[in-house]
Every structure is written in structure tokens, then in C-alpha cells.
Amino acid sequence: MSRLRRRKGLEEFLSSAEHSCKRQPARSSLLWVIPIVGFLSFVWFLLRVVPKPSRATYPCQRAAMPLASAFVLWVIGAVGSGLACRRARELLRRSRWGMGAVCLLLAVAAALVAVLPTQERPLLADPPTANAPIGTPRGIHPGRVVWVHDPRATSWGGTNDLGEDIGDGYWWQSSHTDQTVVDRMMAKAIKGLAGQSSEANAWQAIFQHFNQTRGKGTIPYQAGEKISIKPNLVTAWRSYPDIVDASGNQTHYLGWVNTSPQMILALLRQLVNVVGVAQSDITVGDTTTYFPNHYWNVCHGEFPNVHYLACSGAWSREQALSSQGLPCESRMHWSTPGADGSQPDYLPVNYAQADYLINFACLKGHSSGITLCAKNHYGSFIRLPDAQGFYNLHLSLPNGWWSPGSGHYRALVDIMGRQDLGQKTVLYLIDGLYGGYMSNGRPYLWQMTPFCGDWPSSLFASHDPVAIDSVGYDFMLNEWPHIVAAPGLQGGADDYLHEAALADDPPSQTTYQPDGAGHPLTSLGVHEHWNNPLDKQYSVNLGQGPGIELMHIGLQVGDSDGDGDVDQSDFGHLQACLSGAGVPQNNATCQDAKLDPDSDVDSSDVAIFRRCLSGAGIPADPSCAN
């Protein structure tokens, strides 16, 4: 009897379920908006990405991707639910209750697939843990990152949404960037990084420390040694159609931000005029881009014998060449099975032959979160990152299509640890004069403290490749969280920093050995996040032991050598610049000795200096900052 009741109850349940399959409940027409938008996004994504897969990283495609994916799941779920429901109805009519129940459950599951993805709300990643350093700090002062901020460097009026001229010219024009201030910023960064009061002593210390770490002994730069500088010039990329005209003038994307020509010139002045490097021993450029005239005109006039590298040898530039088959041949090995069967990568001649590299990145966002020093080297190969037949470097970036989240193989770590790339890098720099929104470099005024609606007007320097990108990450995460912590990244924007800091035992368990000779990498530097965006304090700043130290060099009255204090060496500079009341001081090196509003350096400037005097090793009084 009980069995009959159970059977009858099951029949009633399945019958009502069958009836529910037949019913089409009334729905608002607005519910069709999501699948319609999803369908249009899917079509748009296919039209743009199928011809060129690398477009999947573009901002517009990243915006379309979640809608397109939801549409595909909706179609699969809706069709699957309908077919399963129809099959269940047929089985129930034939009294095949067991199979009918199974099909009905499949119909419900398929319906959930169709509904749940469109109702899920994407969440930003959890805030990073503060002051929890991992890895081994590097540098003369291990883990030190120097941040020079001087708002007098930038005076550009602004731009439209495309970064184009709106009547005030372009950000890179000399009328909008003060070269004298930029030169001082570069000098302060070098001195602060080495902890020296003079530029010459600072460079000597930098080269001596670097050579010592490479087992060459404590020797400074030697005449004849070659230096290659890698700026970020991606908006002059060779794959953009008609990016330059027949004369070498860039014709499109002129308003987008790269490493600035003024910053490159300031670095060349340091290397040639302070270190004593012969111009002919310096190469500067990007192997995958042009070196357009608005860069050439700034640098070549003063340094005509420097090698200006580009993807083309036109207009007196030097074309980038592969080292394959040459005595200096240097092959790049990718530490992932995903690269098996790909064409081998050989580094450019200028890197293979260089004794030192300087990585001069730009402060930019990206579809993978950030573009800083590590990703700057995506422009350091003869081929493009997604060139057919080669390992697609984009596959290891944390965007929504490829490898979001944490604990994945990152090609950036191989690049950072390669002997002829990261391991030859004597200095890491990030140009933050204007900053760039996304990889195209759209310049935006920054709102975070201390910029407060102005350009960032900053320069970052370090010996530690992990530390400098960690600091850059924190700045951009605070300013542009919707990019750096976008839902599609699943918190993976700084995954390569975890991998690099723990390269000998990374979260992904990848054995990173970019030399291909069975020599696994050890820690490439230290990674951590600051305590908060206002104080910007890292472990060393807080006295908590090894980690990152952020040395902030701002507008400090009297601190002419940029070491953070106002002491006897600064007074020596002021004394050498004294001109007397009413006598203008026009020497460019004495501009920071003018402490009052007039054009001379006299007793009133001395009085201000005495008020701000702190003493050697004692941080200057914040009340003296301009």
C-alpha cells in the first residue's frame, strides 16, 4: 500500500513538473535586453578578435567579453533546458518515471546555467595585505625605491578623451615639460638611490655595487662598455597603420603617453656628462616601435652619436637586429610547456652585446592591470608579443581570457631573470610625469594625495625590479582600482610579482630557468604593499625589518642633494650659488638655491635655509616643504 502511495505521489510530482515544462510564464520584455546585448557583444567580439587574437586584450573587447560569455552560456543553458524538458515530457507520457525524472533534473540544471551567470555580480579582489614582504631585497640599500615628485616639471593644460591636441599642444612638447626640473629630478633620483651627495659618486657606487653582485669585483663603469636603454614607446608601435609618415613624423596617437623625451634626454645627460660614457656606446629605443621625430629632435641635436634604435632603419635610425647566428647569440627560453613547438626567440643584438641595461618604463595601466618595468620588455624582442608561430606572450597575462587569478606561470618572470635582460639591468626607472590610463597611455590628472587633481610629475628609481613594480602597483591600484583590480583579472595583476619574489619556489610551482641550461632562478627581489595610500609606508620605513623602503623626495626647501635632510652639503651648494641682493642668479644648477620668490640668492635665502636646517641624517621638517 505504501509503495502505491509513493508511486502515486511520484506520478503527481512528475505530472506537475511536466505541466510546468509546458507553461510559458509571462515575462517582461525587458528581460530580453540581456541576451540581445550579449548577442551583439558576442558578434562584436568575434568580428574584432578572430582576425587578430591580440585584440582580446583591448579595453573594448575586455568590456564585451563578460557579456559575450554570458550570452553563450545562456544559449547553451536555454537550448539544453528545452531539449531536456521535451525529452522528459515524452518519457512521462510513456510512464518511464525514472528516466523522466533524470531528464527533468537535467532541464533544471541547464536552466540554472542559463540564469545564474547573468545574475552574478562581479566583485573586486580583496584589498592586498599590507606590510607582508616576501622575497629577497636587492640594491645598495636593499629594497629601496626612490620617488621624486616635483609638480614644477609639468604644465600641460590637458587633453580630450583620445589624448589629442585641444589647443594647448601635446604633453611631450618642451613648452609643457620643464627640462631643467626634469634634469634635477633625475639627479635627485640617482643620488637618493645610492645615498650619495654628488651625482658622480652616486653613479660610481651604482656601477660598483652592480658589478660586485655579478662577480666582476667592485669596479666602476669602464670606458668602452656599452649601455642599452629600453624606454616604453608603445604608442609608436609598428603594427599601427600609417603611424609615421615618409619623413618620420608620428601621425596618430600623439597625445598618448610613453616614456617622455625629456626624461630620456635627462638620462643621456647623466650618462654622457657625469659618468663619461661615449655617445657611441649608448643605444636607446624600442625594437618593436619607431623612434619618431618628436623624440629624435629632442635627443639627437644634443647627442648625435647615440644609436637611436627602432623597428626600421629609415631616417638615420638603427634597425633592431636579431642575435641569432652571431657570436653574441642569445636565446630566450620560456619555462612553460605552452611554448613547446614554438619558434625560438633570440634577443636583439643591442641587448646581447650590452654590458649594462637601463629599463626606463612608463607609469601605465593595462588590460592585465599594470605596465611597468617588467612588461616594458615585451617590446624587447624582434617580433611582436603575439606574432604567429612564436610563443604568445599575452597568454601568460592575467586577463579574463587567458590566465586570470594567482599562481600561474608568468613569462614576465623569465624576462626579469634572463641574463641578457633583467640580470644585465643596472638601473630601473619609471617615468611618471603624466602617467597613462591603460596601455594606450591616455593621460589623466591624478586625484590621490599628494597630486590632488594635478599630473603625477614623478620619477621612480630602484635597483630592485620587484620592489619598483610593487610600488608602481600600489600607486595605480589606489588611483585606478577599476583597472588594476578589474573583476576579470581575479586579483592577478601582481601575480608576477609574487612569482618573481619567490622565483625559487613560486606559488605556481613553475621551475623558472630562462637560460635553458638547467639553472633555476632564485628570488628576483622583494614584494609587499604599503600600509595605506596616505602615509605610503613600507616595512623598512616602519622599522619592521627587510622589505621595501620608499624614499620620497619632494619639494623640500634647502635639500639640494635630494637625500631627505638639509645639512652642511646643502649649505655648501647654497653658498656656491650666492649672488647677492639684486643680482639675478641665472645658473641652471642654482635654481633650487632660490628659496624666496625673487631671482637672486642672498641673505634672505640664507635665513630661510637656516630655518629649515635639520642636520645630517635627520629628515627635513615637513613644514619647510613647498
At 583-611, the pLDDT tens digits run 988 775 676 788 877 888 999 889 888 88
- Does 451 share its domain with 534? yes
- Does 460 share its domain with 488? yes
Task: State how far the Cα of 99 lies from the Cα of 92, in Å rounded to an integer.
Answer: 8
CA 590, 168, 148, 462: dihedral to nearest 10 degrees? -120
- Does 167 share its domain with 261? yes
- Does 93 share its domain with 165? no
In 3D space, the residue among 495, 507, 494, 365 whose CA is nearest the CA of residue 441 turns out to be 365
Q: Helix, strand or coil for residue 237?
A: strand
In this model, does residue 417 exceed pLDDT 70?
yes
State residue 570's pLDDT score.
Answer: 85
Whether 283 and 307 have beta carbons less than 8 Å apart is answered as: yes
The residue with cell 645610492 is: 194
Whether 320 and 279 have beta carbons less than 8 Å apart is answered as: no
- Does 444 share its domain with 574? no
Question: What is each CA distance from 405 to 63, 125, 231, 455, in whole angstroms?
Answer: 18, 9, 28, 31
Pick the residue with more confidence: 127 or 300?
A: 300
Question: What number is the average pLDDT over the span 351-379?
Answer: 94
Question: What number is the average pLDDT over the span 403-426?
Answer: 95
Long-range contacts of 173-177 (CB under 8 A, 24+ apart): 173/294, 174/262, 174/298, 177/153, 177/260, 177/262, 177/433
Containing 135, the helix (H) or strand (E) segment is strand 134-135
Question: What is each CA distance from 160 to 171, 479, 480, in whole angstroms?
Answer: 12, 19, 19
Q: Helix, strand or coil for residue 532?
A: coil
Task: State how far the Cα of 227 lies from the Cα of 591, in Å rounded to an integer.
Answer: 30
Per-residue pLDDT band at 256 (split at 50, 70, 90): confident
In this model, does residue 30 exceed pLDDT 80?
no
Strand-strand pairing, 526-527 and 134-135: antiparallel
Q: Is residue 390 part of a domain?
A: yes
In the structure grid, which three cell numbers stand for residue 186, read together?
Answer: 633625475
For the chain, the average pLDDT equals 83
In this model, does residue 245 exceed pLDDT 50?
yes
Q: Is residue 559 part of a domain?
A: no
The three-point CA angle 582-583-584 to 5° equals: 110
In 3D space, the residue among 475, 477, 478 whose CA is nearest the CA of residue 458 turns out to be 475
Question: What number is the average pLDDT over the span 267-276?
Answer: 98
Task: State how far the Cα of 281 lies from the Cα of 265, in Å rounded to an integer.
Answer: 16
At which of 119, 149, 175 does a domain end?
119
Q: Is residue 560 part of a domain?
A: no
Q: Is residue 239 part of a domain?
A: yes
In this model, does residue 437 exceed pLDDT 50?
yes
pLDDT digits (tens, 9 = 90+) for 110-145: 555 444 444 333 334 456 789 999 999 999 999 999
Q: Is residue 558 part of a domain?
A: no
In the structure grid, which three cell numbers stand for residue 206, read together?
Answer: 651604482
Per-residue pLDDT band at 185 (split at 50, 70, 90): very high
In the structure grid, which three cell numbers stand for residue 409, read together?
Answer: 606561470
Strand-strand pairing, 369-371 and 425-436: unpaired
Q: Is residue 618 part of a domain?
A: yes
Strand-strand pairing, 356-366 and 345-346: unpaired
In 3D space, the residue among 91, 97, 203, 187 whose CA is nearest the CA of residue 140 turns out to be 203
Residue span of the structural domain in which 67 resides = 2-119
At which of 119, 144, 177 does a domain end?
119
In the structure grid, which three cell numbers stand for residue 270, read together?
Answer: 647623466
State residue 238's pLDDT score.
Answer: 79
- Does 152 share its domain with 225? yes
- Does 216 share its domain with 327? yes
Q: Where are the alpha helices (DSSP H) in 391-512?
A: 411-417, 465-479, 481-484, 495-501
Per-residue pLDDT band at 339 (split at 50, 70, 90): very high
Pick the residue with more confidence: 23 or 421?
A: 421
Whether 253 and 163 have beta carbons less than 8 Å apart is answered as: yes
Per-residue pLDDT band at 221 (split at 50, 70, 90): very high
Whether 461 and 455 have beta carbons less than 8 Å apart is answered as: no
pLDDT digits (tens, 9 = 90+) for 304-325: 999 999 999 999 999 999 999 9
DSSP conformation class of 442: B
Task: State how far the Cα of 352 lies from the Cα of 421, in Å rounded to an integer.
Answer: 9
Per-residue pLDDT band at 70 (split at 50, 70, 90): low
- Does 49 share its domain with 141? no
- Does 138 share its domain with 238? yes
- Does 543 share its domain with 424? yes
In 3D space, the residue among 82, 84, 113 whose CA is nearest the CA of residue 99 turns out to be 84
- Does 109 share its domain with 228? no
Q: Where are the alpha helices (DSSP H) in 214-241?
A: none
Across 35-49, 458-472, 571-585, which has the greatest mean pLDDT? 458-472
State residue 403's pLDDT score.
Answer: 92
Per-residue pLDDT band at 42 (split at 50, 70, 90): low
Secondary structure (DSSP) of 216-280: S-S----TT--EEEEE--GGGBTTSTT-B-TTS-B-S-TTS--S-HHHHHHHHHIIIIII---GG
State residue 243's pLDDT score.
Answer: 87
Q: Is residue 124 part of a domain?
A: no
In the structure grid, which three cell numbers stand for residue 311, read together?
Answer: 623597428
State residue 162's pLDDT score.
Answer: 52
Across 3-7, 259-263, 616-620, which has the greatest mean pLDDT? 259-263
State residue 181's pLDDT score.
Answer: 92
- Does 112 share its domain with 219? no
At which of 119, 151, 178 does a domain end?
119
Sign of CA dihedral 524, 529, 535, 541: negative
Q: Encode burial over 379-418: b for 16+ CB neighbours within 10 A, e otherwise.
A: bbbbbbbbbeebbbbbbbbbbbbbbbebebbbbbbbbbbb
Task: State how far the Cα of 107 lies from the Cα of 21, in Å rounded to an integer.
Answer: 9
The residue with cell 658622480 is: 200
In this model, does residue 52 exceed pLDDT 70?
no
Q: Helix, strand or coil for residue 141?
A: coil
Sign of CA dihedral 52, 56, 58, 64: positive
Q: Is residue 475 part of a domain?
A: yes
Task: State how far the Cα of 615 lies from the Cα of 626, in Å rounded to an integer.
Answer: 19
Per-residue pLDDT band at 455 (split at 50, 70, 90): very high
State residue 46's pLDDT score.
Answer: 65
Phi-psi region of 468 (alpha: psi -120 to 50; beta: other; left: phi over 0): alpha
pLDDT digits (tens, 9 = 90+) for 366-411: 989 999 999 999 989 999 898 999 999 999 999 878 899 999 999 9
State residue 433's pLDDT score.
Answer: 96
Total domains, the chain: 3
Across 46-60, 93-107, 400-414, which has the greatest mean pLDDT? 400-414
Pick the residue with more confidence: 550 or 560?
A: 550
Containing 346, the helix (H) or strand (E) segment is strand 345-346
Percent of the chain residues past pLDDT 70, beyond the cut: 76
State residue 616's pLDDT score.
Answer: 85
